[in-house]
Amino acid sequence: MNNDNLFDLTGKVALVTGASRGIGESVAKVLAQYGAHVIVSSRKIEACQIVVDEIINAGGSAQAIACHIGDMDQIDAIFAAITEQHGKLDILVNNAAANPYFGHIIDTDLTAFQKTVDVNIRGYFFMSTKGAKLMKDSGGGSIINVASVNGVIPGDFQGIYSITKAAVISMTQAFAKECAQFNIRVNALLPGGTDTKFASALVDNPAILKQMMHHVPMKRVAQPEEMAGTVLYLASNASSYTTGTAINVDGGYLIG
């Protein structure tokens, strides 16, 4: 292995879901910066195209394909497009997520429960099965699941979201164990509090933010781009012997 090129992704095809903003946008831009052709995906094609244009203007390679991972037909469609256009997939970053309910766990209704499970568990699962099949056919690859520290310690009033993120951690281990024989590595990123629109209900609430910071040794929330380096590591040859792990990027929250 050439240590000068540990993070080089030249020639790789990467799919990043939920990539129109926040963590997904930062990840897409970093993967492109290191040479990957990045498929930028989220529910709204117009938002994806803005990110694609920024990547191309910076000298990278990217395209936009819309996909709502809570819709099985759209999952089928995006993998059909990738197969037809590229014939392979080297990197899959499952980042799109749903958090439709914030409140006491006993007040969770069926609609919120189903939406969260459909995206965060079913969506990740079938994105991974289809991604792994493409990777198997082309000799291997890397799947990175964006979970959460809430999958380890449930967040206050984030019950069903936390439950699904715990499932993502378990899913990561299960796929890693069964897909290693195909040279497919599967790992998880566990972000702590991050300043994104998705987390605005927490970050923008002074009382909740103060309580969170009490448990964070670094005493601040993360910026989305602070998650991208860990994903780059997991996507590249730098992590060639790393699979089935969950990496905390949380300012020390889980030890705080």
User: Does the active-site annotation cover 101?
Assistant: no
- Give the active site residue among 34, 101, 124, 161: 161
CA gap 77, 215 in Å, rounded: 42
User: How many other C-beta atoms are found inside a 10 Å radius of the C-beta of residue 8?
Assistant: 15
CA gap 162, 152 in Å, rounded: 8
DSSP 144: E
Dihedral of alpha carbons 239, 243, 245, 250, sign: positive
Nearest to 168 by CA among 96, 226, 88, 84: 96
CA gap 183, 139 in Å, rounded: 7
171 contacts 165 by C-beta, under 8 angstroms: no
Structural tokens at position 21:
């903003």
CA-based end-to-end distance of the chain: 37
CA gap 135, 230 in Å, rounded: 21
- Tokens 């790992």 -> residue: 187
- Known catalytic residues are 161
